[in-house]
């Protein structure tokens, strides 16, 4: 038996804040109370610190084959970087190869992930080819494998995209089996048209990545996805929402009493499309959907406070600069994605809580609790409560530091946030009762991270 006593911290959950001690035995939270006097193997004085649940990032791509290369963080480097930044659980995407089964994709992903992670992880299953065979696998994915969310792409035409007929079929089956359908909601045909148009006109810089995915491509697809989900009755979740138009499509869906879960990502709250104006430098932020405008950032912050946006993830999908250079002469060949998993919690605290855009409790809700609830891991994950996994961050809300590729732990040789000053630092990160990060040092080994089987999602969070 091992034990940790965290004393004198300010305990923050999604529902409240209080001064309390937390006593951990083995992997679980054992007791929460004031002035606890238990003997423990390790006593941590958290005076002046905030104690909150380990973050859950439900949108990462580790070691993912994509656009002719692989994302540069694997399960070891990616989950280690996540732990440094207070994220104790990530949800990655298994990508079905068109023409093959869901199980064959799962096997491939297990070969890459098993025994390699430092932090906990789960999988979404991305269905890129819905047919009678894949339909028959949905139930086992949920019941046997603990993979209860199914990702779809309405874009990446010719690679990952499915059509509306497949979408309806998948939604019906996932609804019948008690899962959730998530989506990359942009209009793949419109984007395909605009990419071809810009290329034929010799407009090949990263700016044209942005101009090939205007806001309407996202608002249209978000509305269409919500309509199909309404018709089938499946629980819907839109990943990486970026803009006011798409958010308004979901606002409209609420008028018929529909619930559509919405995730945005940290970058869409704080970065904007002016970054695409600096020639090839803009490739650092080539991601899909692209960064948007200031007015979209305001809509997303408001959406968090209105409860229309429930989750802040990252869509962490890093590529080395040499990989980005695959698209030096043609924006459509730049691998899409950027390094982010390490900075989500600190940036959200610094830009959100410190700047009075969201409360501390909203911070916990959107960085951890809601993802645990929506993706069937609550109350094991996503909160600090008696019986929950002891996934805990001890956070100094005043420590200032500067983000940089020279100090980050993600396997990426540049940073999309170079020189960004943040206030607030993850000092100690505990995962299932083990100190994983202590003042910048890693204390757990590769293989400590566990695959988390997830249960049913709920419309009620
Ligand atoms: O640019 C992105 N988002 N890359 C990862 C794949 C995806 O669409 O999520
Ligand atoms: Zn996507
Ligand atoms: Zn993604």
Counts of helices then strands in the chain (DSSP H, E): 14, 19
- The pLDDT of residue 461: 77
Is residue 315 within 6 Å of ligand 1 at its C-beta?
Answer: yes
The radius of gyration of the chain from alpha carbons, rounded to an integer in Å, stands at 21
- The C-alpha atoms of residue 343 and residue 341 are separated, in whole angstroms, by 6
pLDDT of the residue at 135 = 98
Expressed in angstroms and rounded, the spacing between residue 20 Cα and the centre of ligand 2 is 40
Cα–Cα distance measured from residue 193 to residue 217, given in angstroms and rounded to the nearest whole number: 11
Nearest to 234 by CA among 162, 167, 153: 167
The reply to whether ligand 1 has any atom less than 6 angstroms from the CB of 263 is no
Place of tokens 């940290």: 266
Ligand nearest to the CA of 152: 2
pLDDT recorded at residue 456: 87
C-beta 61 within 6 A of ligand 1 = yes
Q: In this predicted structure, what is the pLDDT of residue 458? A: 73
Name the residue with the closest Cα to ligand 1, atom 3.
288
Q: What is the spatial distance between Cα 230 and Cα 257, in angstroms, rounded to a whole number? A: 10
Does the bond joining 298 to the residue before it have cis omega, within 30 degrees of 0?
no
CA 368 vs CA 85, 186, 245, 377: distances in Å: 13, 26, 26, 10
189's CB contacts (< 8 A; 6+ apart) are 157
Q: Whose CA is nearest to atom 1 of ligand 1?
A: 287
Give residue 459's pLDDT. Answer: 74
Taking the alpha carbons at both ends of the chain, their separation in whole angstroms is: 34
Alpha carbon nearest to ligand 1 atom 7, residue = 288
| Tokens standing for residue 450 | 């566990």
Q: How far is the CA of 338 from the centre of ligand 1 (A)?
A: 9
C-alpha 11/C-alpha 322 separation (Å) is 43
What is the residue with the minimal CA distance to atom 8 of ligand 1? Answer: 288
User: DSSP class of residue 447?
Assistant: T
Q: Following DSSP, what letter does each residue of 13-39 receive, concatenated? A: -SS-EEEEEEEEETTEEEEEESS----
Q: What is the pLDDT along the chain (461 residues), one digit of tens a residue?
A: 999 999 999 999 999 999 999 999 999 999 999 999 999 999 999 999 999 999 999 999 999 999 999 999 999 999 999 999 999 999 999 999 999 999 999 999 999 999 999 999 999 999 999 999 999 999 999 999 999 999 999 999 999 999 999 999 999 999 999 999 999 999 999 999 999 999 999 999 999 999 999 999 999 999 999 999 999 999 999 999 999 999 999 999 999 999 999 999 999 999 999 999 989 999 999 999 999 999 999 999 999 999 999 999 999 999 999 999 999 999 999 999 999 999 999 999 999 999 999 999 999 999 999 999 999 999 999 999 999 999 999 999 999 999 999 999 999 999 999 999 999 999 999 999 999 999 999 999 999 999 999 998 877 77
pLDDT at 457: 81
CA of 398 to the centre of ligand 3 (A): 32
CA–CA separation, 228 and 301 (whole Å): 27
pLDDT reported for residue 406? 98
Q: Please name which ligand lies nearest the alpha carbon of 315.
A: 3
Q: DSSP for 300-337?
A: HHHHHHHTS--EEE--B----HHHHGGGTT-GGGSPP-
Residues 305-314: b if buried by 16+ CB within 10 A, e if exposed: eeebbbbbbb
Q: Which of 285, 336, 339, 340 gets mutated to test ligand 1 (max ligand atoms within 8 A of its CB)?
A: 336
Residues in the chain, total = 461
Two tokens, residue 253: 């869906």
Q: Closest Cα to residue 102, out of 63, 141, 148, 50? A: 141
DSSP 8-state code for residue 356:
T
Please provide the DSSP assignment of 271-287 as one string.
Answer: --GGGGGSGGGGGGG--
């Amino acid at each position: 038996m091992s034990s940790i006593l965290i004393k004198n911290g300010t305990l923050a959950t999604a529902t409240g804040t209080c001064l309390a001690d937390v006593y951990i035995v083995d992997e679980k939270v054992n007791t929460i109370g004031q002035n606890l006097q238990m003997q423990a193997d390790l006593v941590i004085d958290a005076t002046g610190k905030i104690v909150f649940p380990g973050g859950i990032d439900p949108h990462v791509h580790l070691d993912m084959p994509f656009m002719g290369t692989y994302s540069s963080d694997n399960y070891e480097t990616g989950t280690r970087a996540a732990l440094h930044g207070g994220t104790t659980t990530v949800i990655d995407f298994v990508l079905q190869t068109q023409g093959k089964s869901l199980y064959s994709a799962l096997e491939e992903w297990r070969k890459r992930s098993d025994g390699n992670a430092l932090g906990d992880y789960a999988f979404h299953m991305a269905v890129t080819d819905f047919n009678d065979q894949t339909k028959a696998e949905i139930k086992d994915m949920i019941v046997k494998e603990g993979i209860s969310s199914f990702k779809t792409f309405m874009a990446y035409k010719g690679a990952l995209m499915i059509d509306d007929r497949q979408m309806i079929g998948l939604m019906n089956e996932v609804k019948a089996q008690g899962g959730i359908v998530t989506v990359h909601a942009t209009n793949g045909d419109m984007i395909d048209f605009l990419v071809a148009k810009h290329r034929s006109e010799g407009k090949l810089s990263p700016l044209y990545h942005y101009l090939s995915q205007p806001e309407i491509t996202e608002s249209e697809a978000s509305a269409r996805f919500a309509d199909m989900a309404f018709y089938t009755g499946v629980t819907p979740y839109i990943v990486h929402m970026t803009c006011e138009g798409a958010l308004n499509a979901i606002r409209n869906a609420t008028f018929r009493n529909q619930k559509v879960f919405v995730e945005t990502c940290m970058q869409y709250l704080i970065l904007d499309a002016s970054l695409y104006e600096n020639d090839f430098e803009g490739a650092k932020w080539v991601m899909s959907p692209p960064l948007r405008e200031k007015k979209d950032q305001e809509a997303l912050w408001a959406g968090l406070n209105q409860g229309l946006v429930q989750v802040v993830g990252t869509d962490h999908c890093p590529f080395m600069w040499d990989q980005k250079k695959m698209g030096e002469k043609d924006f459509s060949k730049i691998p899409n994605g950027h390094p982010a998993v390490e900075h989500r919690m600190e940036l959200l605290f610094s830009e959100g809580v410190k700047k009075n855009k969201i409360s501390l409790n909203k911070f916990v809700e959107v960085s951890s609790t809601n993802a645990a609830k929506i993706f069937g891991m609550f109350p094991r994950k996503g909160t600090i409560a008696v019986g929950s996994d002891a996934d805990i961050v001890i956070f100094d809300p005043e420590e200032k530091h500067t983000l940089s590729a020279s100090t980050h732990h993600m396997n990426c040789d540049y940073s999309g946030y170079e020189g960004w000053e943040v206030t607030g630092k993850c000092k100690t990160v505990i995962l299932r009762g083990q100190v994983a990060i202590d003042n910048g040092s890693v204390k757990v080994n590769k293989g400590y991270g566990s695959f988390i089987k997830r249960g049913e999602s709920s419309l009620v969070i």
